């Protein structure tokens, strides 16, 4: 391919912090990833040890060393919209020391820079590696570039283990909880509220449902050695026709965040069990699953994963934690690939206007992965 | 005044059924009462025994015989919108016999026709009578013509007793319940639902409030000999930010229909007492009265009212019932005038597309009132 409009510096000799800054300054809000994808593709095709695939604005590259194991190291190229926080700036923070400030520094061009650096610098890794850089992570799931690769080129994502460079403050966050939404609907019978006895109040029937949810204590479930704290919550409630009408319909929307040891059917059964007494008193009530995404087991018992954890812990003092939010690691899990998040940056600063990453974290994450891939 | 565009037949010699039909065929949807008010005013001014007042599209007329007591007989001139149900038709119903079908036959030109008939036919009544025909009853309360008369000409509504000719199937419905709306609001603290333990779920806090409402059995309160059945109901509930957020705010709207023996402060105190245990467990919850209209005592212990009831019962076999819905009788109650509803027509057919009144009911109500006013 010809020289792209925006070019990256030499990947093998540029330190990951500088590379992060270059990547951030190529703005790439979701849907506008063309320039950065072109730059990434051009840089990777210059590496003779890599096989490169372009699909839309996703770029994949892999080593083919016939190693016993293969891992995927992945990150998305897009960001949420820029809010006056580009170009990047190097600043000094009283607590964190040197930080790189600007859109994408946390979510997640630091992780992308580390992966690009490794792709170039470790030509002969201990395990075969597939690097995946993809588009449209920050928008609706149907557009997600990793999902598209899984549909178009599933063989490219086949692996024993995957690392997603999403921000984790340099710790290892394994797997993720699943999430399910259910509507519990209570039917009633309308009437003028001046003659309430002629109707049946649907909102009143929500009382035992909300009581069961309020009384419930969520479980903590240990999966592959990590403790997943669950959550079962009403996230919405609605009902009522007018200020003088007995309502004939009321709905509470429940969100269950469930440990990756449960599948969707088990998760639904669990919610129904929690609500069993309430539902027994409400024979006309209905429970409908409106949305579900299963979680992902951390898979840290696999030897490749264990080696990674050992290297990360030794190199950076990384802690091993469960991931609570649903992330793209679940896409790997759905492909049968255990996955973890491991990247620089405080996840609570993702999407923030003052998004910023300690530069030492970028270096530490790169050191840890390099120590594992090129011991 | 000059001859109006639409004229009424001679009030004294026209039977109330025919007069109802003429009045209905002068369409008078709220806001368009000018033609019917002109016709009513013209007809009443032709009666030398009446003093007439015009205010907007309200017309009042009164006898001045220096009787020991005065009663108001009132009705509104407007209707809800016409739905292809004008002009009126005389039909034969298997159950009800002859019925007059069309908009306004029930609500409430039958009652208006009876009052106009009495105004003309009973020149020397046993009690002084003030007839009140008014506009804008079917729309927002601020436009109500009776309310405007109470502000502009309160002396014209001074009386010992009032009869509103709203449809009651020819029975006497005394007073009315009051109505109060309250918002019970529970504050919470938002968090991502994947980390629910960092927040506080406002919707869950509604559980004890709804439980108290669902468990509550409404009282029946006897006032002036009539049994007022109360109602305490959730008529609305809302809460929730997004499907992945712990909600920081939830509100249940409560409607309390309270007997006319309670004033607004007592009604509020009653609701707070019902919710006391729930609120004790929710120190941050708030209860706000958003709307209140006190009820009206039936006042049937007043000698004038008692004489009316005796006459109505003897003439038509009318039953004496409490009124549950809030009506304009409460406006009289607020002026210190006990009031009842007494008119032809099934109130459940008011506003219906097939609104219709048995013509015998119009005659019976006229007979009862005539027997009372001109014994």
Mean pLDDT of A219-225: 91
Residue B130 tokens read as 């003030």
Of the residues A243, A262, A292, the one at which a domain ends? A292
Q: What is the CA radius of gyration of chain A?
A: 24
Of the residues A258, A292, A326, the one at which a domain ends? A292
Q: Give one DSSP letter per residue of A168-211, joined into a string.
A: -TTSEEESB-EEEEEEEEEE-B-EEGGGGGGSB-TTTTHHHHHH
Nearest CB among A204, A250, A324 relative to B213 is that of A204
Residue B305 and residue B264 share a domain: no
The lowest-confidence range among B55-64, B73-82, B112-121, B220-229 is B220-229
Q: What is the CATH number of the domain that holds A235?
A: 3.30.70.360
Sequence-distant (6+) residues with CB within 8 A of A365 are: A110, A111, A114, A165, A170, A316, A342, A343, A344
**Residue B244 or residue B273, greater confidence:** B273
Residue A4 lies inside a defined structural domain of this protein? no
Residue B247 and residue B280 share a domain: yes
**Is residue A22 left, alpha or beta, with left meaning phi > 0 and alpha meaning psi from -120 to 50?**
alpha
What is the helix (H) or strand (E) element at residue A305, kind and residue range? helix A303-316
- The whole-chain average pLDDT of chain A stands at 94
Give A180's contacts in chain B (Cβ within 8 Å). none
Residue A199 lies inside a defined structural domain of this protein? yes
Which residue in the block uniquely carries the two structure tokens 């949807």? B29
Instruction: Indicate if B138 belongs to the active site.
Output: no
Q: How do B128-134 and B70-76 pair as beta strands?
A: parallel
Residue A2 lies inside a defined structural domain of this protein? no
Cα–chain center distance at B249: 36
Candidate list B38, B41, B78, B138, residue with the active-site label: B78
Residue B127 and residue B62 share a domain: yes
Residue B187 and residue B113 share a domain: no
- The whole-chain average pLDDT of chain B stands at 94
Residue B1 lies inside a defined structural domain of this protein? no
Domain span at residue A92 reads 16-175+296-373
Is some CB atom of chain B closer than 8 A to the CB atom of A325?
yes
Q: Please state, as a whole number, how many other Cβ atoms lie within 10 Å of the Cβ of residue B128.
A: 18
Residue B225 lies inside a defined structural domain of this protein? yes
Is some CB atom of chain B closer than 8 A to the CB atom of A179?
yes
Report pLDDT for A1. 57
Report pLDDT for A120. 97
The lowest-confidence range among B162-176, B223-237, B308-322 is B308-322
Residue B312 lies inside a defined structural domain of this protein? yes
> Residue B5's pLDDT band (boundaries 50, 70, 90)?
confident
> Residue B88's pLDDT band (boundaries 50, 70, 90)?
very high
Residue B284 and residue B195 share a domain: yes
B279-328 pLDDT tens trace: 999 999 999 999 898 988 888 888 899 999 998 888 778 889 888 777 88
A236-281 pLDDT tens trace: 999 998 888 899 999 999 999 999 999 999 999 999 999 999 999 9
Is some CB atom of chain A closer than 8 A to the CB atom of B214?
yes
Percent of chain A's residues with pLDDT above 90 = 77
The lowest-confidence range among A129-133, A139-143, B277-281, B358-362 is A139-143
Q: Please state, as a whole number, how many other Cβ atoms lie within 10 Å of the Cβ of residue B352.
A: 15
pLDDT exceeds cutoff 80 at B362: yes
Residue B31 and residue B163 share a domain: yes
Give me the interface pTM, i.e. the ipTM.
Answer: 0.78
Domain count of chain A?
2
- Please tell me the distance in Å from A243's CA to the nearest CA on chain B: 6
Residue A9 lies inside a defined structural domain of this protein? no
Residue B222 lies inside a defined structural domain of this protein? yes
A148 and A40 Cβ atoms separated by less than 8 Å = no
Are A194 and B177 inside 8 Å of each other by CB? yes
Residue B170 and residue B49 share a domain: yes
Nearest Cα residue in chain A from B179: A194
A84-140 pLDDT tens trace: 999 999 999 888 999 999 999 999 999 999 999 999 999 999 999 999 999 999 888
Is some CB atom of chain B closer than 8 A to the CB atom of A219?
no
Report pLDDT for B318. 84
Residue A304 and residue A226 share a domain: no
Residue A104 and residue A24 share a domain: yes
Give B193's contacts in chain A (Cβ within 8 Å). 179, 231, 233, 235, 255, 257
Q: pTM for the full model? A: 0.78
Residue A284 tokens read as 């006309």
Is some CB atom of chain B closer than 8 A to the CB atom of A292?
no
- Cα B54 from Cα B41, distance rounded (Å): 7
Residue B282 and residue B302 share a domain: no
Of the residues B292, B324, B352, the one at which a domain ends? B292
Report pLDDT for B1. 57
pLDDT exceeds cutoff 80 at B2: no
Q: What is the CATH number of the domain that holds A135?
A: 3.40.630.10
A293-344 pLDDT tens trace: 898 888 888 899 999 999 888 877 888 998 877 788 889 988 889 889 999 9
Residue A328 and residue A231 share a domain: no
- Please tell me the distance in Å from A129's CA to the nearest CA on chain B: 31
Are A240 and B241 inside 8 Å of each other by CB? no
**Residue B144 or residue B315, greater confidence:** B144
Instruction: Indicate if A33 belongs to the active site.
Output: no
Residue B352 and residue B226 share a domain: no
Is some CB atom of chain A closer than 8 A to the CB atom of B197?
yes
Q: Give one DSSP letter per residue of A311-363, joined into a string.
A: HHHHHH---EEE--S--THHHHHHTT--EEEE-SS-GGGTT-TT-EEEHHHHH
Give A243's contacts in chain B (Cβ within 8 Å). 181, 235-236, 253, 255, 291
């Amino acid at each position: 391919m010809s020289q792209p409009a925006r070019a990256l510096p030499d990947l093998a000799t540029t330190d990951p912090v500088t590379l992060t800054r270059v990547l951030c300054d190529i703005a790439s809000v979701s849907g506008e990833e063309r320039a950065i994808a072109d730059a990434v593709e051009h840089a990777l095709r210059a590496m003779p040890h890599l096989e490169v695939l372009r699909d839309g604005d996703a770029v994949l590259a892999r080593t083919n060393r016939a190693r016993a194991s293969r891992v995927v190291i992945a990150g998305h190229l897009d960001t949420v919209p820029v809010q006056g926080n580009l170009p990047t700036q190097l600043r000094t923070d009283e607590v964190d020391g040197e930080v790189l400030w600007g859109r994408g520094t946390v979510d997640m061009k630091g992780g992308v820079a580390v992966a690009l650096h490794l792709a170039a610098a470790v030509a002969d890794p201990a395990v075969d590696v597939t690097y995946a850089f993809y588009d449209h992570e920050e928008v609706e799931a149907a557009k997600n570039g990793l999902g598209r690769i899984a549909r178009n080129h599933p063989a490219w994502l086949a692996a024993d283990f995957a690392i997603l460079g999403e921000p984790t403050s340099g710790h290892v966050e394994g797997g993720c909880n699943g999430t399910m939404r259910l509507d519990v609907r209570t039917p009633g019978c309308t009437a003028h509220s001046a003659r309430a006895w002629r109707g049946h109040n649907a909102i009143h029937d929500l009382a035992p449902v909300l009581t069961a949810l309020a009384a419930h204590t969520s479980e903590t479930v240990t999966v592959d050695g990590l403790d997943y704290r669950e959550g079962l919550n009403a996230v919405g409630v609605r009902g009522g026709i007018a200020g003088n009408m007995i309502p004939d319909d009321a709905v509470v929307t429940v969100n269950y965040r469930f440990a990756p040891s449960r599948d969707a059917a088990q998760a639904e059964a669990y919610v129904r069990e929690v609500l069993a007494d309430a539902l027994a008193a409400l024979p006309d009530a209905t429970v409908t699953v409106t949305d579900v995404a299963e979680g992902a087991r951390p898979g840290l018992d696999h030897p490749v994963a264990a080696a990674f954890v050992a290297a990360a812990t030794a190199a950076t003092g990384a802690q091993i934690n469960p991931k609570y939010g649903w992330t793209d690691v679940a896409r790997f899990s759905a492909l049968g690939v255990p996955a973890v998040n491991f990247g620089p940056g405080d996840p609570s600063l993702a999407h923030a206007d003052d998004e910023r990453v300690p530069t030492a974290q970028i270096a530490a994450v790169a050191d840890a992965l390099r120590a594992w891939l090129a011991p």
